[in-house]
Amino acid sequence: MTVIARFEIDFVQFLDHLGRVIQPLPAFARDPQALIPLYRSMVLTRTFDAKATALQRTGQLGTFASSLGQEAVSVGTAAAMRPEDVLVPAYREYGGQMMRGVRIEELLLYWIGDERGSDFSGPRHDFPICVPVGSQAGHAAGAAYAFKYRGEPRVAVCILGDGGTSKGDFYEAINVAGAWQLPVLFVINNNQWAISVPRAIQTAAKTLAQKAIAAGIEGVQTDGNDVVAVRFAVERALDKARGGGGPTVIEALTYRLGDHTTADDASRYRNAEEVKEKWTYEPLARLRNYLFGSGAWTRTDEDALLAECVGCVQKAVDNFLAIPPPRPEQMFDHLYAQLPKALLPQRAAAIEEGADRG
């Protein structure tokens, strides 16, 4: 018998769970001050998350999917992207979306059930949140093809969850990305749980990164709670893609510390001991410990940042709550570029019905 293929999956980590440096930091992270914006984005994300959950609990928001514990994946990814790149996200990527310019008001609008929330004032080419898991992977491949076709040095960055990697869409997309050497990056936000289904029974593959191997492309695993590792791996992959080197799959190992959504109760299927243990790996404390240790961050800085983030989120919430609800005819406004005449009577009926309801 002859072995005709072997493969290895690299694991990338710079800060361990206590925030200790375990290998020389990459250039962008050598100055601890340079990591403060990343930390700020993660804290803002968590502040937003807590506020959104509270709004849902008080009936001021619809069902919300928390990103608690997964901030480093989103923030690390977006930090490495250029504005002209395109993000093709799943839900829970608020950190990255905010860094790219999506406003908190827009995120809240989406989750209260208002389409205007997907009309980002910021990254006009970014895709809206994708709810049917993994189905956005093909969009990223298509967007990447458009960039390649026009010779633009842009990269499409798809973020999907561990559950999404079980879908055909994911395989089909990484397969074509490899075959056509598309400038695309797939980041797997592996938070270990697909609602109630744990990673262990999602797939027998030892890593999700190795799924890339079957597509003939590079697969890398990172510590998804180490924002330095995520940013490093993503930057490498984006540089490669921009230089014509083709696609990459990055699996970022993290953990969903909260429920799947506010409509879910994870205690039904997940034991509290596991969650408690995972709190010791979470990304904010890790970077904070490092920053404290390096002398770049103080308790005063921390208090000021928390206050700033709370104020920022509260201001956005106030703005959000002041946005008037959509009018009924807005159901029709963007269905087609121009509303077909045949639908005008339905539009008129919706307006009339809306007027009846006051």
Partner 1 sequence: MAEVNLVQAINMALAYEMEHDPAVLVLGEDVGVNGGVFRATVGLQNRFGKERVLDTPLAEALIAGMSIGMAAQGLKPVAEIQFSGFIYPTLDQIINHAARLRHRTRGRLACPMVLRSTYGAGIHAPEHHSESPEALFAHIPGVRVVIPSSPLRAYGLLLAAIRDPDPVIFLEPTRLYRLFKQEVPNDGEAVPLDACFVVRQGRDVTLVSWGASLYETQAAADVLAQGGISAEVIDVATLKVLDMNAIVESVGKTGRCVIVHEAPRCAGFGAEIAANLAEHGLLSLLAPVQRVTGYDVVTPLPRLESQFIPSVKRIVDSVRRTMEFV
Q: Is 94 an active-site residue?
A: no
Question: CA nearest 133: which of 110, 93, 153, 161?
Answer: 161
Angstrom distance (rounded) from CA 289 to CA 294 = 8
Q: Is 91 an active-site residue?
A: no
Nearest distance from C-beta of residue 136 to partner 1, angstroms: 8
Does the footprint of partner 1 cover residue 169 (CB under 8 A)?
Answer: yes
Question: CA nearest 252: which of 202, 166, 191?
Answer: 191
**Residue of 9, 11, 153, 175 that binds partner 1 (CB under 8 A):** 175
The two tokens of residue 358 are 């006051």
Does the footprint of partner 1 cover residue 341 (CB under 8 A)?
Answer: yes
Does the footprint of partner 1 cover residue 213 (CB under 8 A)?
Answer: no
**Residue of 64, 127, 193, 232 that binds partner 1 (CB under 8 A):** 127
Q: Which residues contact 313 (CB under 8 A, 6 or more apart)?
A: 44, 47, 48, 51, 104
Q: How many CA atoms does the CB half-sphere of 312 hold within 13 Å?
A: 18
Please say which residue, 88 or 250, places its beta carbon nearer to partner 1.
Answer: 88
Which of the following is catalytic: 30, 57, 82, 269? 269
Stretch that binds partner 1, among 22-30, 173-181, 198-206, 231-239 (CB under 8 A): 173-181
Please say which residue, 119 or 353, places its beta carbon nearer to partner 1.
Answer: 119
Does the footprint of partner 1 cover residue 179 (CB under 8 A)?
Answer: yes
For residue 24, count other CB atoms closer than 10 A to its CB: 9
Does the footprint of partner 1 cover residue 138 (CB under 8 A)?
Answer: yes
Does the footprint of partner 1 cover residue 333 (CB under 8 A)?
Answer: yes
Whether the Cβ atoms of residue 34 and residue 150 lie closer than 8 Å to each other: no
Please say which residue, 124 or 357, places its beta carbon nearer to partner 1.
Answer: 124
Whether the Cβ atoms of residue 108 and residue 317 lie closer than 8 Å to each other: yes
Does the footprint of partner 1 cover residue 128 (CB under 8 A)?
Answer: yes
The DSSP-derived string for 235-272 is HHHHHHHHTT---EEEEEE----S-SSTT--GGGTS-H
DSSP structural state of residue 280: G
Does the footprint of partner 1 cover residue 238 (CB under 8 A)?
Answer: no
Q: What is the β-pairing status of strands 156-161 and 197-198? A: unpaired
Q: Is 299 an active-site residue?
A: no
Q: Which residues contact 145 (CB under 8 A, 6 or more apart)?
A: 180, 182
Tell which phi-psi region holds residue 142, choosing left (phi > 0), alpha (psi between -120 and 50) or beta: alpha
Residue ranges of E strands in the chain: 10-12, 86-88, 156-161, 184-190, 193-194, 197-198, 218-223, 248-253
Q: What are the counts of helices (DSSP H) followed by strands (DSSP E) for the chain?
A: 14, 8
**Residue of 94, 147, 281, 320 that binds partner 1 (CB under 8 A):** 147
**Residue of 75, 102, 156, 213 that binds partner 1 (CB under 8 A):** 156
Nearest distance from C-beta of residue 113 to partner 1, angstroms: 11
Which of the following is catalytic: 260, 281, 288, 290? 260
Does the footprint of partner 1 cover residue 328 (CB under 8 A)?
Answer: no
Does the footprint of partner 1 cover residue 325 (CB under 8 A)?
Answer: no
> Which residues within the stretch 97-126 sit at the binding site for partner 1 (CB under 8 A)?
115-116, 118-120, 124-125
**Residue of 3, 276, 295, 336 that binds partner 1 (CB under 8 A):** 336
Does the footprint of partner 1 cover residue 343 (CB under 8 A)?
Answer: yes
Stretch that binds partner 1, among 35-43, 175-183, 219-227, 285-293 (CB under 8 A): 175-183
- Interface contacts to partner 1, rule CB under 8 A: 86, 88, 115-116, 118-120, 124-125, 127-128, 130-132, 135-147, 149-150, 156, 168-169, 172-173, 175-176, 179, 333-337, 340-343
Q: Which residues are annotated as catalytic? A: 256, 260, 269
